[in-house]
A and B are shown apart, each in its own frame.
Chain A
């Protein structure tokens, strides 16, 4: 490091500081590092006693002059108003309520009482590369704005260049904590476009995988939420349980994440021999371990103190902000697409929709934890009722022939080749298909122009939409609670940015 500094610095002033620092191995006393306080116009020079003899300041090396950010009390109030009014803007419901929003009076900005800090994008508690701009007054958060886009790779544009067969590999990478749900949403949209119906075994196997994925996603959330609230034990617990589910996924699909297993027309392969035993062990173990979670966190006074009454959102505001999933349900709205607009065979299984009553961080925790229990209930029913039969439609335009057939049949070889090079061509039309992912409504809007690639693919990511609620949740809370609230929203930034 000192080498780079030496080569870069012109006259050895900066470099000599670094050399001294490195040689002694100790930080220099009396403000030896970092930019020094500089003279503002009219204040006179910096007091010489702060500097050691022969030492020069950083500022003399620059040609730009004073690099310090002026504090709020010397900034033009109008400029400050425009900046704050434009950048940190609360949703309408909060902004019009004078009890929630500070006076947008320019004179109130002169006192230097508020400051804006950035939480993230490299903060571990933002669960990815999320940046939240926070306007603080003391320790109270006034306004905030989530800034996203750091992971944007244009996956919707990419989808227009991939065939419908390849599309599942694209979407599975978006919400990397529930890849099977992404594939399910994609497959249902393509099948709706094609007008095909998958066999019952494929439907129930999809339901099994989707629910197991919901379990793994929620215990992963419990783990990171525990870590955000300084319970590292919870972190270990959550990852331990998730690992069981991922091992089963690896056995079934060959991969721990990004499976590309649920495909248009069914699933890629039948469930492995003995899957019933594996799944039984998983659900039995996790349902016991959930009681451990309860023991560790649910009744714990410190945890409750940090979550109860923190980050409250009511049902009207949650609906107005288009929030879905555990955020909406925790506020008391019994909206779960598995129940309200059943897909797969959710209409035939028995489960409860978990709702909260207050809409605070604790409710969101409780909703997710109990949803794991409901998922276990569904998985147990799937174990009992899994139908026999084919695991994909026998339409050789949509699903590939069995591998063995390719060696025997010229026709099978052609079908295989055509499917994986050109794919299939759904009829012209547009379709919106939505499922309940662990984070809320996961929607896929597809426009087909009759070719083998979607003309337009739009992904309605629940994390992206749910992030809009963050300013409303954070408003008026303490900075220390920001971490707990952000964690309770459970955004997956891969899906936010796509």
Chain B
């Protein structure tokens, strides 16, 4: 499934040991990408301009499925702690990649600034990310450049605003007959 040159040593280690070995050590394309462990899951923090290259390298290394993609609005936690070298931004795109052959997961967290909420699409690399990117665009307003069909998917086409943003109110259903006398 993969023909990356640095694939073989990792495959060997995956069979005889637990899947704790950091990916960054094995993949040259990931050099310099900050990593962390979050409750047993490996998390990578690629900068926005290297996001696509990192995802492509991971696909070549066997992570053939993009199992999940979503956005997070960190408006209320702009000063959250992140690994060294990562500057926190308002939005994050969180991608879960899956290696079906070796049963591994890796998570990417990409910082997306508020004034330019654009990241490259994963569509060319992972066609299955299409609907998830549309959802992230629809609900959080993160745009994916070169996406083939970046339209709203869950909300109506003419909806204004992006509901999962933290500055978007929850809303209330107006009570129509509040002043009307009750049955008793």
Contact = CB atoms under 8 A, between A and B. Distances in A.
Interface residues of B, number: 42
A468 B67 contact: no
B64 to A, nearest CB: 5
A74 to B, nearest CB: 26
Interface in B125-140: 126-132, 135, 139
B126 A455 contact: no
A434 B67 contact: yes
A321 B148 contact: no
A84 interface: no
A445 interface: yes
A161 B163 CA distance: 13
Contacts of B15: none
B176 interface: no
Instruction: Give the bracket for the number of chain A residues in contact with chain B.
Output: 35 or more
B12 to A, nearest CB: 19
Contacts of B124: 92
B73 A456 contact: yes
B154 A497 contact: yes
Contacts of A468: 127-128, 130-131
Contacts of B149: 86, 89
B66 interface: yes
Contacts of B126: 320, 322
Interface of A: 86, 89, 91-93, 148-149, 152, 154, 156-157, 161, 192-193, 195, 319-324, 333, 335, 340-341, 428-432, 434, 441, 443, 445, 447, 449, 455-456, 458, 460, 464-465, 467-468, 497-498
Listed from nearest, the 10 A-B pairs whose CB atoms lie closest are A322-B128, A458-B70, A340-B103, A152-B154, A460-B68, A149-B154, A321-B128, A91-B127, A456-B72, A92-B127
20 contacts: A89-B149, A92-B124, A92-B148, A148-B153, A152-B155, A156-B139, A156-B164, A157-B164, A192-B39, A319-B100, A322-B129, A333-B100, A340-B100, A431-B39, A443-B67, A445-B68, A447-B72, A460-B68, A465-B131, A498-B154
Interface of B: 38-41, 64-68, 70, 72-73, 76-77, 80, 94, 96, 100, 103, 105, 107, 123-124, 126-132, 135, 139, 148-149, 152-156, 163-164, 170
